């Protein structure tokens, strides 16, 4: 944790040197979130419910999506962006030689603090959604939301690292764009997709656990089955990713071997 804090502090100091970039990133986050909210507004101008979700619940979901996407963009994306490239050209050696867990060093030590703007705005949209619903969530619901959001971030990390680890076997494979496209499915509740796609988005690429379940918990109260399913999914995905990483490392030959 101390290592992560130090890395974040260094990244923050580097980022604050470029204030125009901060302005651009903040403006982009506002525009993208406004477009999402605008799309929700257009849909609910035509209907009262979308697959059983009201406008307020949808806002809570969009806010949760923005919050978790901001966290991912801040803490994971900068390291994961060129992980395949690092595996390919042998730069991964740097992390393997350091006295800390290699998977953590290679996937979470470069940060983009300016992307946190998106998370802050996301929280604002969640509050707006709750205001629209006219409810004050119970402390248990808020705790459930926070826990599920953390698990969502963990699943986001595990799936990204899992896909990037495939570079140990197929060095030219670049699935970043595909992953970004799949992540976009989290903008809406899984209830809008067909039955098979819904199952796929619950168990294979659990978008349901990343955004639908946290928003549901916050607006309708916690459900023990959902919480347990999320914990199980988070554990299973993390374990599978760590296993994949270790198997991949065995194949890795480094820059000089």
Partner 1 sequence: MSRLLRLIRLEIWRQIIGWSGAWWFLVTLVIGQAVAPLLGLFVWLHVPSAGAQVGSYYLAVICVALVTASFENHTFAQAIYSGDVAAALLRPQPPVIGPLGENLAIRLWMLVLGLPLITLVGLTVGVHFAPLALLAALPALALAAVLRFLFVWTLAMAAFWTERVHAVVAFGGALIFLLGGSAAPNALLPDPLRTIAQLLPFRSMLGFPAELATGALTPADAAAGYAISVLWTAALGCCAVGAWRLGVRRYTTVGA
Considering beta carbons, is residue 89 or 184 the nearer one to partner 1? 184
> Rounded to an integer, what distance in angstroms lies between the CA atom of residue 176 and that of residue 179?
5
Considering beta carbons, is residue 97 or 178 the nearer one to partner 1? 178
C-alpha distances out from residue 29 to 19, 36, 77, 125, Å = 15, 11, 16, 12
Contact residue for partner 1 among 78, 147, 187, 238 (CB under 8 A): 187
Cβ 72 vs Cβ 153: under 8 Å: yes
Contacting residues for 161 by C-beta, under 8 A, at least 6 apart: 80, 83, 103, 107, 241, 245
- Residue whose entry in the numeric block shows the structure tokens 């918990």: 217
Contact residue for partner 1 among 177, 224, 225, 250 (CB under 8 A): 177
Overall residue count recorded for the chain in this entry? 257
Q: What are phi and psi of 138, to 5 degrees?
A: -70, 155
C-alpha distances out from residue 157 to 39, 68, 74, 237, Å = 28, 11, 12, 9
Considering beta carbons, is residue 83 or 103 the nearer one to partner 1? 83
> Rounded to an integer, what distance in angstroms lies between the CA atom of residue 125 and that of residue 163?
31
Considering beta carbons, is residue 8 or 188 the nearer one to partner 1? 188
> Rounded to an integer, what distance in angstroms lies between the CA atom of residue 234 and that of residue 1?
19
Contact residue for partner 1 among 5, 42, 136, 224 (CB under 8 A): 42
> Rounded to an integer, what distance in angstroms lies between the CA atom of residue 32 and that of residue 28?
6
Q: How far is CA 145 from the centre of its chain?
A: 14
Site map (CB under 8 A) of partner 1, residues 2-41, x = contact: ------------------xx--xx-xx--xx-xx--xx-x
Contact residue for partner 1 among 51, 232, 243, 247 (CB under 8 A): 51
Size of the site for partner 1 (CB under 8 A): 36
Q: Which residues, in sequence order, are bridge partners of residue 53?
A: 50
Considering beta carbons, is residue 4 or 182 the nearer one to partner 1? 182
| Closest distance of CB 36 from partner 1, Å | 9
Contact residue for partner 1 among 2, 5, 46, 195 (CB under 8 A): 46
**88 touches partner 1 by CB under 8 A:** no
Contact residue for partner 1 among 43, 135, 142, 150 (CB under 8 A): 43
Both structure tokens of 120: 């802050």
Stretch of residues binding partner 1 (CB under 8 A), selected from 81-89, 144-152, 173-181, 200-208? 173-181
Considering beta carbons, is residue 95 or 188 the nearer one to partner 1? 188
Binding site for partner 1 (CB under 8 A): 20-21, 24-25, 27-28, 31-32, 34-35, 38-39, 41-43, 45-47, 50-51, 172-178, 180-182, 184-185, 187-188, 192-193
């Amino acid at each position: 944790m101390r290592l992560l804090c130090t890395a974040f502090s260094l990244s923050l100091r580097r980022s604050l040197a470029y204030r125009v970039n901060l302005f651009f990133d903040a403006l982009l986050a506002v525009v993208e979130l406004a477009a999402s909210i605008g799309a929700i507004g257009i849909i609910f101008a035509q209907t009262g419910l979308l697959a059983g979700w009201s406008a307020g619940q949808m806002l809570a979901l969009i806010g949760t999506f923005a919050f978790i996407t901001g966290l991912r963009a801040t803490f994971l994306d900068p390291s994961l962006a060129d992980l395949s490239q690092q595996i390919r050209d042998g730069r991964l050696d740097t992390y393997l030689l350091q006295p800390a867990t290699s998977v953590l060093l290679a996937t979470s030590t470069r940060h983009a603090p300016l992307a946190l703007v998106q998370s802050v705005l996301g929280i604002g949209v969640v509050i707006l959604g709750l205001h629209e619903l006219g409810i004050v969530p119970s402390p248990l619901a808020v705790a459930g939301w926070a826990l599920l959001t953390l698990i969502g971030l963990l699943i986001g990390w595990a799936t990204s690292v899992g896909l990037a680890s495939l570079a140990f076997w197929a060095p030219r494979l670049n699935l970043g764009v595909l992953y970004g496209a799949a992540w976009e499915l989290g903008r809406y509740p899984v209830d809008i997709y067909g039955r098979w796609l819904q199952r796929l988005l619950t168990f294979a690429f659990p978008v349901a656990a990343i955004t639908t379940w946290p928003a549901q918990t916050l607006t309708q109260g916690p459900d023990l089955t959902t919480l347990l399913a999320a914990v199980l999914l988070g554990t299973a995905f993390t374990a599978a990713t760590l296993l994949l990483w270790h198997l991949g490392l065995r194949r890795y030959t480094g820059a000089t071997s």
